[in-house]
Amino acid sequence: MASSGSRPLEGKVALVTGASRGIGKGIAIELAVAGATTYITGRTVKPQPGSAVSLTEAVEEMAWLGGKGIAMPCDHTDDDAVQSVFDRIAAEHDRLDILVNNATAMDDYHDSIGKPFWLLSPSVWDSTMNVGLRSAFIATQKAAPLMVAQGGGLIVNVSSIGSKEYLLSVPYGSCKAALDKLTHDTAIELTPHNVMVTSIWPGLVMTEPLLLVAEKKPDGRMELMGVDLRVAETARFSGLAVVAIATDPNPMRYAGQPLICAELAHQYGFADLDGNMPPVVRTNADVFAGLDDIPPLYAGLYKAPLAAGQVAGSKLGIRLVRDAAGKLRTAALE
């Protein structure tokens, strides 16, 4: 895999939107380390006071790890700016092999978490759909002619279980559901041209915003809504999943489908950077099973079936064990 020093994507050209931090940055790093010339977009060009999050910092990290990253400042609400990104890639390479749509409206997205939808400003809905759904459509629309002309390509939309389950807020879940539908329908039209479109579902990911709202326990552990963050994924775990798809000899079998990153890890045989294997999360039940207290927002939906921990296949809200090699694994409910 990419982190082991191999470069299976040498000669490929990739674009990751919204890659100055978090999952987008993690994916971009792994693509670059795997050999792809990786363009990244975002609005924060240089680090701001109190934060190292920026396109510049992301490109420097790629270079330190032996990859090639190219920063392209871009506001994905500006169609002309987006067009300029694709124009530059076409001018410099005349091809685009991999597009990862990750751009989101982070500020409004986090401000809406845990708030009833009727208390949200309509602007929250608009920004979530504009940068997250519309931005993915526009980028896919710009990438398609290049990929069709060159005879193939890969488009990955970063979605989540929020497309099926209640997660974070109504605008967030609605956006992810629509994003998976965009994946399905664009795949139907692009598959005949050997362009594969899929969605990935990262699990609980240790991103910068998540750490800001997590709670530090007396024993030093970090928790979020009662969930032990030792089972969380690094942002680069999603990148390993994308590299696995991009190097698969027959990726078309995934066309139009959402793929869970942790399931791909089991299938392809990779682990997270620290060697841990994050749990497979398909539903909220996987998150809350085994917890004494379910967050109030979810309690009406899940408390009855979860009270006794009787949820088949639940893997996240349960105890951790270490295997013979000392790596964390999730244990079955007792």
Handedness of CA 125, 241, 156, 60 (dihedral sign): positive
Mean pLDDT of 309-325: 50
Plot region of 333 (φ>0 → left; ψ -120 to 50 → alpha; else → beta)? beta
Catalytic residue status for 172: yes
Between 282 and 199, the higher pLDDT residue:
199
The predicted pLDDT at position 322 comes to: 59
Q: What is the pLDDT of residue 254?
A: 95
pLDDT band of residue 330 (cuts 50, 70, 90) is very low
Strands (E), 7-152: 13-16, 37-42, 68-73, 98-101
Question: Per-residue confidence at 311, pLDDT binned at 50, 70, 90?
Answer: very low
**pLDDT tens digit string along 81-113?**
999 999 999 999 999 999 999 998 766 666 777
Q: Which residue is listed with tokens 């982190």?
A: 3
The pLDDT of residue 110 is 67
pLDDT score, position 146:
97
Contact 24, 72 (CB under 8 A): no
Distance of CA 318 to the CA centre of its chain: 24
Tens digit of each residue's pLDDT (9 = 90 or more) over 114-137: 788 999 999 999 999 999 999 999
> How far lies 25's CA from each of 21, 131, 245, 331, in Å?
5, 17, 17, 31
Q: Which pLDDT value is given to residue 106?
A: 65
Residue 204 has what pLDDT? Answer: 82
Higher-confidence residue of 154 and 299: namely 154
Q: Where are the beta strands (DSSP E) in 231-294?
A: 258-260
Catalytic-labelled residue, pool 39, 109, 166, 172: 172
Q: What is the pLDDT of residues 42-64, one digit of tens each?
A: 987 776 665 657 888 999 999 99
Note the pLDDT of residue 325: 67
Contact predicate 103/24, CB 8 Å: yes
327 pLDDT above the threshold of 70: no
Chain segment 146-174, per-residue pLDDT in tens: 999 999 999 999 999 889 988 878 999 99
- Per-residue pLDDT, 332: 41
Cα-Cα end-to-end distance for the chain = 35
Distance CA 17, CA 31 (A): 13
Separation of alpha carbons 17 and 156, rounded Å: 11
Over residues 224-247, the mean pLDDT reads: 87
Across 298-312, average pLDDT: 48
Amino acid at 274: D
- The mean predicted confidence, pLDDT, of the chain is 84
